[in-house]
Structure 1
Amino acid sequence: MLYSFLESFCIQFTFQLFISESIFLIDIPRKKHFVPRLVGFLIAQIFLGKLWETTLTVILPDSMLQYVCLYIGYALLTIIPISGSFDLELRELIFILAGGYATEHMTFALSKIILYLFHRQYTLYGSLPHLLITRYIIYVMGAMAVYFLIIRTKKKSGELGDSDFRIVVLAFIIMVFAIGFSVYWSYPEEYQGTRVGNIICPAYSFLCCALVLLMEYYVLRENSMKREQEMMEQLLKMSGTQQKSSKEAIDIINMKCHDLKHQMKALEKIENDSSRKEYLQEIREAVSIYDATYHTGCSALDYVLREKTLIFNERNIEFSCMVEGKMISYMSSADVYALMGNALDNALEHVLKEKEGERVIGLQIRHHYDMALIHLENRCSCAPEFKDGIPVTRKKDKTQHGFGVKSMIYIVQKYGGEVLITAKNGKFNLDILLPLYQKKK
């Protein structure tokens, strides 16, 4: 009974495609109630696949076009369980569809070549062990080989979201033509058992499908490098903003020093003790802004906090800070300065729009389970609009929209962290989760 059930062409091919596509779905977010959704959609795929096979048998009996349409239809039907169970975009779906079918077809072509070289026929019917090996186990092995040789080694080069839609569609078209060519030369009886039908044609299909996979991951790598280049350019722009902020802090210091010189001269001429005491108190308050010395355990963070505190005090901004800087001390100094400097500058830009007395910024860096949580909040009476999780700028120059936030996200992702930005209850919140105690990158 098991043999009869597994012998169904629809069951076999559904399994082969699902195994081949699953290696591309390992890191894709899953929808709620994943298991029942997946099982239900797989049953629907099998049912529709059988219906598609029956329909083609009636419409295109004994035709090469029947087999071409049959395989393409089976491939398209895998959209049902994938899109129904995983949270992904259209280009990601096409990427997985093309890559999964290419993996399945590579395994099929290679197994056909090997069986021919060992003088064994790739028969559709046989014993249960033969069925399990040639229709199931070998596809698991083929999928694992592709995963460890191609997918796993290329994973750091980019994500599916970086795939170029046009190139992915082109890869899918190449794959379809390879399958059509394979069907055209494999099914005629005159080519069965010959080198043309069992070596030349499968080898050609194997190379075409391998080209599809390499093309897809080449696009990922190129797009990832392009994204990194754009981020580096944005970081350079952000560095210019940081330099402007540093100049502002230095200007504040110079201005205060200039005022102190005149105050010291005026103090020498004051003879009344009560007036002298009042004047000294004013000088102490003026000097107190330089007492903002931080020892957080991260020297780069200390520098940023000292610099920003000068600006906050000058602008009458209330700044509360409770941080454990050693949690992020593993990050490079440049990344800490860019990340925290830009975050605090963004908070400063928001609170300056508020009335005096309502300009409040709070910063925390603390443990959150086994992660480091950076929480920055500031007063925000007018919540901004969001697009793709990033606040939309109100500035006239939209070309520079969100590059500072994107740069922060880039730095955080570089260390395997996550960024969440929200605006609610009159507050703008930036939450960053980072792994603890990594090596510098």
Structure 2
Amino acid sequence: MNWKSLFEINIYHGYIFQILLAEILFTFKLKRRSHFWIRAIVGCVVYCFLSIIIPNFIARYTSGLFSMIIFLLSVGLCEACFNSGFRNIIFCCVGAQLTQNLSYNIENLIYLPFAEKISYWGWFLISVVTTFIVYIVCYFLFARRLNSEQPAGERGVGVYLFSLTTALFAYLMQYLMQLYKIDVIWVTRPPLILCCIFGLCVQFEWFALENRRAENIFLERMLEKEKRQYEITKTSMDLINMKAHDLKHQITRIRSMKNAQDDELDKIENVIDQYEMSSMTGNRTLDVILAEKTMLCRKHNIQMTIMADGKALEFMSTADIAALFGNALDNAIECEYTIEDKEKRCITLDIHKKGNMLIIRLENYCQNELKADTNFPETSKKDKYNHGFGLKSIHYIAEKYDGVVKIGVKNNIFILSILFQVQ
């Protein structure tokens, strides 16, 4: 056995760096393990070493497994460097493998028809340019859509099984082409190019669909939790109003006594009025939510103005009203906490019908610019996955009733508008 042949490097070993570069694009957002750079440097050295020896050794006995072996070694490298779960790593690596395969087949589609006229360095230039263009396009279309903060368990198993099936199919086709010696024929490349594009599109669209499904399940759980919280709040507010009503009767009785001190009684009565539900919008659920948030605003010196036709909300369920206005007002109140100048702390809620349109408009003072897109501004909290669902919940509820949500900032006023078409 010639041991030196195990260390021989040929043009096909370029796959080592091509798949590694593609995997960097797709794993860039994954959660890294401790001592990541040490793991990455040592791992890359070991990976390159094994990717030369093992494929060369196996190639003595069978062909067609060269790329698959290198790919499996690269998956091991990613597993050693990232702590995002094996399923997430496989998903990213398959996306990288399809990207590399797409680049390789486009390169050969350009090169093979003119192989006799193109020099070695011409082929190398075609390879570099094709790889650069395809990788950049695939990054912007697919790789950057990945989100490291969403747990892998939230996604369905189907999307991962599809990823594995796609990878195995690509390598099977490559093995058969080499076995029957047809990989040098350029007409075999267009079907493989289409398969790679189809695989990437289905993989990531399925991924997006699974994400949306998981998000909707999470939102439904949140709505159910908020419904229970509303029931607790309603009971508490009813009790507060009942006690406040009884106390006002007691104050009236005390006033009738000769020794009553009117100034002290007035102060007590003013305090009671602050806790007594004052919003009478025509919708009991909205009244409860507004009473709770009004008390919170008073506590934090936030001026709250309400002009609401609660009867116009009759088409919505109790849980949805509680969640919609609870989330919207909580977001506004949280924003006002950050305003140092208490004179500027203000919230305005306007609910009215205009023709067959119901218009909900919530405004609050805001000193920051919107982050991300105007549909889902980025949450200011560190945990991006478990927070930022307030606005998503609002969008979700609006969509249930064919509503439209618009968000914007004008002259330091954050404006949330929701439009519904009603009878």
TM over 0.5: yes
1:122/1:287 CA distance change after superposition, 3 Å: farther
Pairs within 5 Å for 1:347-386? 365-366=337-338
Residues in 1 aligned to 2:169 and 2:294: alpha-carbon distance in whole angstroms = 64
- The root-mean-square deviation of aligned C-alpha atoms, in Å, is 4.5
Q: Deviations over 1:85-110 (max 9, x none)?
A: 33321111110121111111111122
Q: Deviations over 1:234-280 (max 9, x none)?
A: 34324423543145324412431233124313431x22x3xx23x86
- What residue number does 1:256 align with? 244
Q: Deviations over 1:184-231 (max 9, x none)?
A: 124544x354xxx3223x233223322322222122222222123223
Residue type at the aligned position of 2:96: G
Q: Any stretches of 5+ residues in structure 1 without a counterpart?
A: 294-300, 311-319, 326-332, 345-362, 369-412, 422-429
- What residue number does 2:377 align with? 415
1:228 equivalent to 2:215? Answer yes
Residue type at the aligned position of 1:204: P
Which of 184, 191, 196 aligns to 1:209? It is 196
1:31/1:128 CA distance change after superposition, 3 Å: farther
1:168 equivalent to 2:160? Answer yes
- What residue number does 2:48 align with? 46
Residues in 1 aligned to 2:215 and 2:48: alpha-carbon distance in whole angstroms = 42
TM-score (norm 2): 0.61
1:166/1:155 CA distance change after superposition, 3 Å: closer
Q: Deviations over 1:308-350 (max 9, x none)?
A: 589xxxxxxxxx758899xxxxxxx9767327769x9xxxxxx
Residues in 2 aligned to 1:82 and 1:103: alpha-carbon distance in whole angstroms = 17
SS at match of 2:338: strand
Number of residue pairs aligned between Structure 1 and Structure 2: 321
Q: Deviations over 1:386-436 (max 9, x none)?
A: xxxxxxxxxxxxxxxxxxxxxxxxxxx953226569xxxxxxxx99999x9
- What residue number does 2:268 align with? 285
Cα contact 1:186–1:198 (8 A) shared by 2:
no
- What residue number does 1:338 align with? 327
Cα contact 1:175–1:209 (8 A) shared by 2:
no
Residue type at the aligned position of 1:230: I
Q: Any stretches of 5+ residues in structure 2 without a counterpart?
A: 1-6, 277-288, 305-321, 341-374, 391-407, 418-423
1:192/1:222 CA distance change after superposition, 3 Å: closer
The Cα shift of 1:292 comes to 7.3
1:87/1:364 CA distance change after superposition, 3 Å: farther
The Cα shift of 1:302 comes to 8.7
Residues in 2 aligned to 1:203 and 1:14: alpha-carbon distance in whole angstroms = 24
Cα contact 2:226–2:323 (8 A) shared by 1:
no
Residues in 2 aligned to 1:229 and 1:80: alpha-carbon distance in whole angstroms = 34
Which of 237, 245, 253 aligns to 1:265? It is 253
1:56 equivalent to 2:45? Answer no
1:183 equivalent to 2:175? Answer yes
Residues in 1 aligned to 2:165 and 2:135: alpha-carbon distance in whole angstroms = 21
Residue type at the aligned position of 2:244: K
Cα contact 1:182–1:205 (8 A) shared by 2:
no
Deviates more, 1:37-46 or 1:205-214: 205-214
1:131 equivalent to 2:131? Answer no
SS at match of 2:378: coil
Deviates more, 1:36-45 or 1:159-168: 159-168
SS at match of 2:26: coil
Residue type at the aligned position of 1:42: C
TM-score (norm 1): 0.59
Residues in 2 aligned to 1:432 and 1:225: alpha-carbon distance in whole angstroms = 15
- What residue number does 2:16 align with? 14
1:120 equivalent to 2:92? Answer no
Residues in 2 aligned to 1:433 and 1:164: alpha-carbon distance in whole angstroms = 21
1:101 equivalent to 2:97? Answer yes
Cα contact 1:110–1:206 (8 A) shared by 2:
yes
1:29/1:145 CA distance change after superposition, 3 Å: same
Cα contact 1:324–1:365 (8 A) shared by 2:
no
Residues in 1 aligned to 2:91 and 2:380: alpha-carbon distance in whole angstroms = 25
- What residue number does 1:86 align with? 82
- What residue number does 1:27 align with? 29
Identity of counterpart residues, as a percentage? 12
1:198 equivalent to 2:186? Answer yes
Cα contact 1:324–1:366 (8 A) shared by 2:
no
Residues in 1 aligned to 2:161 and 2:69: alpha-carbon distance in whole angstroms = 17
1:147 equivalent to 2:139? Answer yes
- What residue number does 2:317 align with? none
Residues in 2 aligned to 1:122 and 1:255: alpha-carbon distance in whole angstroms = 94
The Cα shift of 1:17 comes to 0.3
1:439/1:28 CA distance change after superposition, 3 Å: farther
1:73/1:439 CA distance change after superposition, 3 Å: farther
SS at match of 2:337: strand
Residues in 1 aligned to 2:117 and 2:52: alpha-carbon distance in whole angstroms = 22
Residues in 2 aligned to 1:159 and 1:266: alpha-carbon distance in whole angstroms = 61
Cα contact 1:42–1:81 (8 A) shared by 2:
yes
The Cα shift of 1:111 comes to 1.9
1:87/1:119 CA distance change after superposition, 3 Å: same
SS at match of 1:88: coil
The Cα shift of 1:12 comes to 1.1
Residues in 1 aligned to 2:226 and 2:117: alpha-carbon distance in whole angstroms = 63
Residue type at the aligned position of 1:67: G
- What residue number does 1:328 align with? none
Residue type at the aligned position of 1:127: Y
Cα contact 1:160–1:220 (8 A) shared by 2:
no
Residues in 2 aligned to 1:159 and 1:218: alpha-carbon distance in whole angstroms = 16
The Cα shift of 1:129 comes to 4.9
- What residue number does 2:352 align with? none
